[in-house]
A and B are shown apart, each in its own frame.
Chain A
Amino acid sequence: MDAGKGIECLKPVRTGQTLIGKTHLHDIYTKTGRSGRMIFVVARLAFFDEAGIHLANSDSRIVMREKSAK
């Protein structure tokens, strides 16, 4: 399931600018609720300009419910 999205703006993105996006697995963490443990996976898409200047990050979080061992 989609657990949310976060945007972090580091530098302005100019109109017409060429962007380079690189995605990596940024974080994995768990939360335990009444229905059991849930695993959150954060994929970070980092945007750079052609000179390699880091412009922004976009984090996409997905959540999975842990399957019972039964």
Chain B
Amino acid sequence: MINCIEDVEFGADLPAFVPDTSLTKGGQFAKLIGWDGPRFSDHEGARKEGLPGAMIPGVMSQGFLVAMIHHWAPSANIINIDTVFRAPVMADEAHTISGVVTDIDTDAGTVEIDLTVANTKQETRVFGTATIGFAAATD
């Protein structure tokens, strides 16, 4: 577990995170944020909209990325997170999230992390970059 910026190593892989991409959770999340609709809660309804099946909302994927970072570094602050949705994250399909430390700025107290959401075929569905901050260490 990472408690301060001195614990972070350049190039380190974050522990793999397996998100719950079930249709039930995706539908609940979409409803919670007021984005209800078959594309997130019903495979058949999503197909009627021309999609291959129900998807996980993009902001939920961002939430998974943030959760992964906080599992690794609970005391870190998310300063920004930027994601590109290359392809839909399909509900009821298994995905894994990986992350790697790409920059450390000890003067600013910030760390950059590259993040990827991939399916079991190792196809990247979402990738992004996060900048996180650590409070200055106290003696």
Residues of chain B contacted by A2 (CB below 8 angstroms): 58, 85
CB <8 Å contact, A7 and B62: yes
Which A residues touch B85, using CB under 8 A?
2, 4-5
A8 near B79 with CB under 8 A, answer: yes
Main secondary structure of the interface of A (DSSP, over half): strand
Q: How many residues of B contact A (CB 8 A)?
A: 13
A interface bracket (residues with beta carbon within 8 Å of B): under 10
From residue B108, how far is it (CB to closest CB) to chain A in Å?
15
For B80, give the chain A residue with the smallest CB separation. A8
Chain B nearest CB from A14 CB (Å) reads 15
Q: B58 touching A6 by the CB < 8 A rule? A: no
Q: Are B58 and A9 in contact (CB under 8 A)?
A: no
Q: Which residue of the partner chain, among A4, A7, A9, contacts B84 with CB atoms under 8 Å?
A: A4
Within 8 A of A (CB), among B51-104: 58-59, 62, 77-85
Complex CA gap A6/B83 in Å reads 6
A3 to B79, CA, bound (A): 21
**Complex alpha-carbon distance, A55 and B82, angstroms:** 17
Chain A residues within 8 Å of B58, by CB: 2, 5
Interface on B for A, CB 8 Å cutoff?
58-59, 62, 77-85, 128
Cβ contacts A to B, 30 pairs, < 8 Å: A2-B58, A2-B85, A3-B84, A4-B82, A4-B83, A4-B84, A4-B85, A4-B128, A5-B58, A5-B59, A5-B62, A5-B82, A5-B83, A5-B85, A6-B80, A6-B81, A6-B82, A6-B83, A7-B62, A7-B78, A7-B80, A7-B81, A7-B82, A8-B79, A8-B80, A9-B77, A9-B78, A9-B79, A9-B80, A59-B82
